[in-house]
Structure 1
């Protein structure tokens, strides 16, 4: 998929070939399940630093002008959580994305503590909001 596209439920063209998209996603899932050496390499982080990134695109939806909050969390070099969600209300504030990533990082820290995984440093939170 081309990056940077703004899709609208009203003015967007339909996907030309949903079968191609489903086929690509299926192939990626098949590779992740059937190639244990790939899964092992991906799931062996060199470090256990917890880093969270968040972003809020102000009024990005052309239909209702609501913002979208995006976030992702890395454990070492591996992506362990990600989310993209339209905000419920119109807002110029980036605080919603920061609150979301803070809650997610806190939950992951709690989970890691419960399974006795030591995090060497405090988590890092980075925000790329342009409000």
Structure 2
């Protein structure tokens, strides 16, 4: 996976703050405060990138935050860069695994490689 930073715009709304990503239509988030909106933006970005990859969508390169043009009717509270992980290309590897464990994986997984990659991501995230 490659770490990327997408520009996000935090805008004032009637009940808090909304976040949108100019490079990623449909990727939005919100929060009661600017800080909460910024924290929630990272979760929204991660989910958006993961779903896009699952559906085979092209993931655009992030724009330079300094050149983003925002409509004049948007009440901009902040501009920020939000960290996300963009999956890299798949690499074939050979691993050894207990045959009983492999059989159990195959019973529940639609895709063995994807299952193992998801398990590795979860284990790495748990370690911090």
Bin of the TM-score, shorter chain as denominator length: 0.3 to 0.5
Give TM-score scaled by structure 1 length: 0.34
TM-score of the two chains, using structure 2 as the length reference: 0.35
Greater share of helix residues, 1 or 2?
2
